[in-house]
Structure 1
């Protein structure tokens, strides 16, 4: 019964985190799509996408650290670096989608480009959510939920391995 309740809470937490991810990341992504379109009129599209991806990744990682995944503060350098890895994959997906579009349609209109870009961004965003939740911000979520911290002191000789986590509960 307890395990079922914990599973429901975890599922509920995932849904609310995904909703916050869509709100924060989607808002940044939508603004980014307009920024890429505007900047692409001045410089090559791939360069515009790269610049906007860097800036939007920094902003989104901060938002996700503070609001989406409950870190409660600024993102660490490690989290920024890990987030950058998933953003690089998202960048590759959006570039590939646009290359395919331009390979199939000689002169696509701005609306079609936006639809393709946002669709590719949404698909990459779902994958990014999984990476951010399960890897980048996983430690913060488990500590915030009152999970057992890894024991940093040696186990007393009088206690077995199975008893030691109780000695190291989060304070």
Structure 2
């Protein structure tokens, strides 16, 4: 009985990967909110948020590489950079949503602020999941591109029928 593990594990399905994404990303997000609060008592909030954002993005990317998308190993520098880019885009969207709220509502209540922030976070989270799954952690992308044939051979009947000597045969073969 062979007990060796295949290094090319199958990628999880979309629903499984999304559930893992929510679990990993949500867990890191909750931990990050506590970390920002704890650090903000010692350093300016903006700096605390920046530090926690960098660390949490690195941690989440590693979790997504190893667990969420089944890459089977550590995230590469390219994956970290792409993940950071998608996290920065998500951060920008949530900031814009909160800015729009402040323009539209003079003194929004805490509940409305949370609804807007969490809605923007959910939208960007879904988009981030798609980017991570389809771009950052896409499997076999380069291998499939390098092994794909550039031309397809014609079937024998079409190859024979395409002879200029018998144009009628071409119509019969099609």
TM-score normalised by L of structure 1: 0.66
- Tell me how far apart the structure 1 counterparts of residues 120 and 28 of structure 2 sit (CA, whole Å): 15
**SS of structure 1 residue aligned to 2:146:** coil
Contact 1:33/1:117, CA 8 A, preserved across alignment: no
**Stretches of structure 1 lacking an aligned partner (at least 5 in a row):** 1-11, 164-171
**Stretches of structure 2 lacking an aligned partner (at least 5 in a row):** 1-11, 154-174
Indicate the residue corresponding to 1:150 in structure 2.
146
Contact 1:69/1:137, CA 8 A, preserved across alignment: yes
1:1-171 equivalences in 2 (<5 Å): 13-40=13-40, 42-45=43-46, 47-103=47-103, 104-106=105-107, 108-109=109-110, 113-139=113-139, 148=144, 150-151=146-147, 161-162=151-152
Rg larger in structure: 2
TM-score normalised by L of structure 2: 0.65
Contact 2:18/2:129, CA 8 A, preserved across alignment: yes
1:48–1:99 CA distance, 2 compared to 1 (3 A): farther
RMSD: 3.2
